[in-house]
Amino acid sequence: MWTLQGTLLALAGYLCVFNLSVVRGSSMAPRIHDGDRILIDHLSYVFGDVRRGDIVVLKYPLDPSVDYIKRIVGLPGDDVVLEDGDLWVNGERMDEPYVVQSDPFARVRVHVKPAHFFVLGDNRPRSCDSRDFGLVPQDYIRGRVEVRVWPPQRLGAIDE
């Protein structure tokens, strides 16, 4: 049986690895909705690299006290082009099954600097992302998001 001390120690360890966060806004719809509760894995990037397609919580570059949730689409050294609603990385058109509605008016051409990332919301017409605030420094990435814990009917892994 768990003792109170064991339970508190396990809870403290859990909170050091994961952080519960409430999503505000619809920039990641339809996979992640306003009001969803998600777990942020803070250790994922201590032991592994950020990958294209990862959903992350990051510090908003224009106000680091605010957190945003976005998808990594450009890695350091990548050439990113967004044109006519299509995303191209290093000359290759990206298949993005998670984007339901593209933004045909967005035009971006950027080379991702070392230790930076280019991020986009899945709900392109309703997302404030690297198109608006530019590249995200690596140390602004708080962690990866893989699990939704609320609401109960959508509990579980968030498909990338």
Residue extents of the structural domains in the chain: 20-157
Rg over CA atoms, the chain: 17
d(CA 134, CA 19): 26
CATH superfamily, region 20-157: Umud Fragment, subunit A (2.10.109.10)
pLDDT at 117: 98
Active site residue: 27, 44, 127, 130, which one? 27
User: Which class for 105: exposed (0-12), middle (13-18), buried (19 or more C-beta within 10 A)?
Assistant: exposed
pLDDT at 151: 82
Active site residue: 26, 59, 70, 127, which one? 70
pLDDT in tens, the chain (160 residues): 556 655 555 445 555 555 667 678 888 888 887 888 888 888 888 888 999 999 999 999 999 999 999 999 999 999 999 999 899 999 999 999 999 888 888 899 999 999 999 999 999 999 999 999 999 999 999 999 888 888 888 877 787 5
In the numeric block, which tokens belong to residue 141? 């990435």
Is 113 known to be catalytic?
no
pTM of the model: 0.84
pLDDT at 27: 87
pLDDT at 1: 52
